[in-house]
Amino acid sequence: MNSMKIKLLSLFFLVTAGISGYSQQTTTRIFNEVLFYDGYAATVTEPVAAGVIRHRNDLYATKISAAQLAAFGTEITLEVKIKAACDNYDRIGNVNLALVPKGQTTYELNGAGVKRIEIARYITPFMNKNKTPNTVPYNYDLSNISRIFKDNETNANYDIWMELEVFGVPYAAQTQVAGCSGRIDVFYGTVDIISNQPSDAAEVVDDLYLKQLFLKHDLNNYQEGASDVVGQSKKTISFNVENTIYNAKLYLITSNHGAGEGGEEYVRREHYAYFDESLKLQYKPGGISCEPFRIYNTQANGIYGPTPKSEASWTSWNNWCPGNIIPIRIIDLGTVAAGTHTFALDVPQAEFVGNDGKIPISLYLQAHTKPYTASIDDLYQPDLSIYPNPTHNHINVVSDQTISTVVIVDLSGKKITETKAGIIDLTSFSSGIYFLNIQWENGAVTTRKVMKY
């Protein structure tokens, strides 16, 4: 990170602390440039940093300390930075939380009593380690996980670990990228948690309900158990809720993969999410322009291509862009009665040509175990993604709800511009912090911060 960006990030934390009314904001480094290796190779024995364990070449974990948990406030932003080593293609990665029975210095991924949820997913960009930019940041608003960090019962029974995963393969880069011959390291990964520091650092909760339902379950129509019935692309899970829960929300992450001819990466399909056989969410992934990610295309190959494409061209087919976050879709269930319930995801038009491809599903349920009075923010929380952030030129503003206008203001509150576009060009803006005041069709307004560097 260059000195200008460090100064801007420092300004970002100071300014947003004053605006939000909290005493300060903190940045906690969870992983610092951990190095990933060939996902197909035997697990390497290279040393790791103190406190970090290597589960596999593509998966690391570290325990979040009691002091770190105490420092986190109610607003949580997760920033993942992926830096090129010797893989120059787009790959899938994610961040998980693992609740591990108290006092263990290591753990098995599927060990007794270990509960794991995926909280963020991303796609690496095409990168060449010898050319800049060779690092891409991914930012996620994950304020809901502050309740996990602060819950009394959770902290009494579990240590909270964070896992960083990115699957990489070095074989193409070994011949295409200078300095990569014979090497099997693929990417570096860094994770920061950016949080407000509340005035009462001892703030805790004691009514968390958390249940993992799917963790990267590969939905397809050709493998036994991948779907309800071979030949169909619908997967159902049944689960029990022990007592009535309140303000219940499902957190759903899906992405489409299969790069062969006619593969599911390249065809946008309608997805249908059901709770207790009632349709709760319908969405079609993608439909965004990959032009903001062209700065990472240091190779002549790949889906970026050698020349720019129109927004219409991109949105006609792409499910995601290399260098892109995968949206976290939130399904608000309200009050859920005790008993057996079902969730199903159906992608009825998926084809998986040549028995190739998959749709990894991650899903967890988070709620209160006591009656809950909703705030205004809770009453209207549309799915909203703003990326890349920080950015050097363009940002995408994507939502499942209709946006009326986006007003951009600077730190002084001065209006800079107003737009209805889903892609906003910040190229001519000075480096610094800006606020997007997003007005929805129903009149509600959501404010988000962006940084131009």
Which is more confidently placed, 448 or 239?
239
Say yes or no to pLDDT of 11 above 90: no
Say yes or no to pLDDT of 215 above 70: yes
Supply the pLDDT for residue 208.
Answer: 94
Structure tokens at 416: 């800079």
Closest residue by Cα to residue 152 from 214, 202, 110, 109: 202
Least confident of 64-68, 162-166, 205-209, 441-445: 441-445
Tell me the average pLDDT across 248-269. Answer: 92
Least confident of 7-11, 122-126, 200-204, 426-430: 7-11
Supply the pLDDT for residue 410.
Answer: 80
pLDDT in tens, 283-342: 999 888 888 888 888 877 667 777 888 888 888 888 999 999 999 999 999 999 999 999
Closest residue by Cα to residue 96 from 124, 121, 79, 123: 121
What percentage of the chain carries pLDDT values higher than 70? 89
Cα distance between residue 134 and residue 371, in whole Å: 48
Supply the pLDDT for residue 451.
Answer: 80
Supply the pLDDT for residue 374.
Answer: 53
pLDDT in tens, 267-279: 999 999 999 999 9
Supply the pLDDT for residue 297.
Answer: 84
Tell me the average pLDDT across 211-227. Answer: 97
Supply the pLDDT for residue 273.
Answer: 97
Say yes or no to pLDDT of 63 above 70: yes
Say yes or no to pLDDT of 420 above 70: yes
Query: Residue 440: which pLDDT band, with cuts at 50, 70 and 90?
Result: confident
Supply the pLDDT for residue 218.
Answer: 98
Cα distance between residue 170 and residue 85, in whole Å: 9
Say yes or no to pLDDT of 417 above 70: yes
Tell me the average pLDDT across 178-196. Answer: 95
Say yes or no to pLDDT of 71 above 60: yes
Supply the pLDDT for residue 415.
Answer: 84
pLDDT in tens, 358-390: 999 999 999 999 886 555 445 555 678 888 887
Supply the pLDDT for residue 310.
Answer: 86
Query: Residue 204: which pLDDT band, with cuts at 50, 70 and 90?
Result: low
Supply the pLDDT for residue 291.
Answer: 87
Supply the pLDDT for residue 24.
Answer: 64
Tell me the average pLDDT across 156-172. Answer: 96
- Which class for 338: exposed (0-12), middle (13-18), buried (19 or more C-beta within 10 A)? exposed
Tell me the average pLDDT across 385-400. Answer: 81
Say yes or no to pLDDT of 12 above 70: no
Which is more confidently placed, 6 or 189?
189
Supply the pLDDT for residue 109.
Answer: 95
Supply the pLDDT for residue 427.
Answer: 84
How much is the pTM? 0.81
Supply the pLDDT for residue 373.
Answer: 59
Supply the pLDDT for residue 9.
Answer: 38
Supply the pLDDT for residue 149.
Answer: 94
The per-residue pLDDT of the chain, averaged, comes to 87
pLDDT in tens, 31-56: 999 999 999 999 999 999 999 999 99
- Do residues 342 and 236 lie in contact, with contact meaning Cβ atoms separated by under 8 Å? yes
